[in-house]
Amino acid sequence: MGFPMAGHLAEAGYQVMVYNRTPQRRKEWLSRYQGRAAQTPAAAATGADVVFVCVGNDDDLREVCLGEVGAFSGMKDRAILVDHTTASAEVAKALASIAADAGLGFLDAPVSGGQAGAENGVLTVMIGGDVEAFKQVEPIIQHYARCVRRMGETGAGQLAKMVNQICIAGLVQALSEGLHFARKAGLDPAAVVEVISQGAAQSWQMENRYQTMLQGEYEHGFAVDWMRKDLSICLDEARKKGVSLPITAMVDQLYAQVQAMGGGRWDTSSLFALLESVNERSQ
């Protein structure tokens, strides 16, 4: 997702220096956009007013931020690092503390909207951290986002993203069950959706995923492997706070079954494929 996000900034006229742990991706980016590439995160961050990071998980984030070649080591005094990774609130707080000790700013800023949202510049960004740092970066982020909101202090962005993933998990499972029921009841599932999407059942998932789900196509969004990573973060945070998330826990295990089917890289709507598969085996 960082590829098109950085592209939007280059197209907006910003001087962009990119780094990717896969060198080929750097070359591909430079073939499409105006900018320069660096060999390390530190080199990419050198001299920048704002540094944007978008990687996979907590460990990846530590890797690109810390150490001799990490972004923090190359950043100038009072520069701000904006982390778009979906990670834990704990790592956000830890890195924010390290950044503050080094005279740097840090904002946890996970995004929602998927690859399509990044490419089309319509992401939703949930931010935690210092108010003044937020005010500095908000106009920049708006080049690839349609909604940018500060949710509170450090870690609040990540907590808000957890809420997002909890809600999506339940919605996708409910949509999968509804489509599966409609099909087995002898209804035209597409016709049913056309009707109920005009009422209280409407959701983004219904509008954007029901057709591909019915066609058995699962290459259109956020991968199951990544969703399980995110749900693991949600469930871990819930345990720490003594919060019960029964639906989230159930859907997490259903995604584990999708992975066992070989669907780890399928998008999250593949819960429907699991229901269809279970039905076929029971006949």
Catalytic site positions? 161
Cα 72–74–75 angle (5° rounding)? 65
CB 1 within 8 A of CB 122: no
Q: What are phi and psi of 105, to 5 degrees?
A: -100, 155
Using CA atoms in the order 19, 25, 30, 35, what is the torsion angle rounded to 10 degrees? -20
List C-alpha distances in Å: 241 to 160, 208, 237. Answer: 15, 33, 6
Backbone angles phi, psi at 202, to 5 degrees: -60, 140
Could you tell me if 89 and 159 are in contact, meaning their C-beta atoms sit under 8 angstroms apart? yes
Structure tokens at 52: 């944007």
Cα distances (Å, whole numbers) of residue 31 to 22, 36, 38: 15, 11, 15
Give me the sign of the Cα torsion angle 32, 38, 43, 47.
negative
The per-residue b/e assignment along 226-239, b for 16 or more CB within 10 angstroms, e otherwise, is: bbbbbbebbbebbe
Rounded CA separation 61/71 (Å): 10
